[in-house]
Amino acid sequence: MNRVVITGLGIISPLGNSATDVAAALRAGRVAIGALTILPTENLLTKIGAEVKDFDPVTQFSDKQLPLLDRCAQFAVAASRQAVTQSGLDLHALGSRAAAIIGAGVGGMTTLDESYYRVYAQGSKRAHPFTIPKLMISAAMSHITITHGITGPSFTVASACASSNHAIGVAYSMVKSGTVDAAVTGGTEAVFTFGTIKAWEALRVMSTDTCRPFSKNRSGMVLGEGAAIFVLENRDHALARGAEILAEIVGFGMSSDAADIVLPSADGAAAAIRACLDDAGLKPEEVDYINAHGTGTVANDATETKAIRAVFGTHADKLAVSSTKSMHGHLLGGAGAMELAATVIAMQGGFIPPTANYAVPDPDCDLDVVPNEARDQQIGVALSNSFAFGGHNAVLAIRRA
């Protein structure tokens, strides 16, 4: 089996549109949650979100490309360019020895919302001719293969908020087994449309002020948008060409709750964490940091705490556990990728990102959640948790290069 390393990282996110900008924001504990500006909110209860700023697609794509790209795909392709450039890898030359595995929860919602408005509200006799190619959930992945000349395995993983971790885990497994030498992987999401937010409001899990994971006065989740894309590579292949190694992926674990379509399960989450540790050959006490799923909902945060304590026992008291969703919001299908990116950045920078907006300790969330301020600390091994609606659980483990 091959060892699998990360040689490229690209980010388009509420915290910034490069790894350098995101690193500065995480270290400063900057919260990117604010008033929504990209759509009217007068008929919405939810008026906040974590938007991507300073992203102009006109400067990123040609007049020929842009009509084919939903905002969801725009983010993914732009982030992939950063990742591939940093890696220095010639994906055209690799051809079928490279894969593209991308996670997304819902895909081109902007296109879908605009199409429905055009047909139902404006009474148009026809939809835009590019509606289907833009809204399909696999569009972002397809444009990545076209951009970089990837002719090997390519597909999109959709498992709600675990989509990105599943996609990265599958890509990791393919490189590890030797099916391919490299993979472009990660996740993307862009869900700030009127219809999407109305649907989320109906679930009654949305905060109207901010995201406070693990705090007793937490009031719900806050949506975010963006993409984080990685280049994964066979370690020997990367070393042979003198590539910089950002981190090594050492484990991947999955489980299914098989219990409830929305309520989380501590047993299911714990099973995925154990599976990840087993895959990595890690003892619980070797883990230094967990980037938690940490949505800021009452049910998730207490359940995740219970799962972590079940797996780590007394070592749970020594673990740093933070939720970066408190700063960049919940990217849904792109969440795992954004949070793995934050974990890699923190590992490289020698700090633990904080759980921002933390105010009141909760006895049901009695972990070291690194409240409000980043902490200088070297991270040798870290986990990134994703636990999704439908009972889909996916956990990744990385080690410092």
- DSSP string spanning 217-265? T---B-BB-EEEEEEEEEHHHHHHTTPPP-EEEEEEEEEE--S-SSS--
Greatest CA separation for the chain: 64
- Pick the catalytic residue from 72, 143, 161, 237: 161
Residue 153 has phi, psi (to 5 degrees) of: -60, 135
Q: Choose among 174, 106, 188: nearest CA to 144.
A: 188
148 included as an active-site residue = no
- Pick the catalytic residue from 148, 237, 328, 330: 330
Q: Collapsing DSSP states into helix, strand and coil, what is residue 279?
A: helix
Q: Collapsing DSSP states into helix, strand and coil, what is residue 380?
A: coil
CA–CA distance, 225 with 72 (Å, rounded to integer): 8
166 included as an active-site residue = no
Q: Give the angle 364-368-373 at the CA atoms, nearest 5°.
A: 120
Identify residue 315 by its one-letter amino acid code. H
Helix (H) or strand (E) holding 399: strand 392-400
- DSSP string spanning 260-272? -SSS--HHHHHHH
Q: Collapsing DSSP states into helix, strand and coil, what is residue 67?
A: helix
330 included as an active-site residue = yes
- Pick the catalytic residue from 148, 237, 293, 328: 293
Catalytic positions: 161, 293, 330
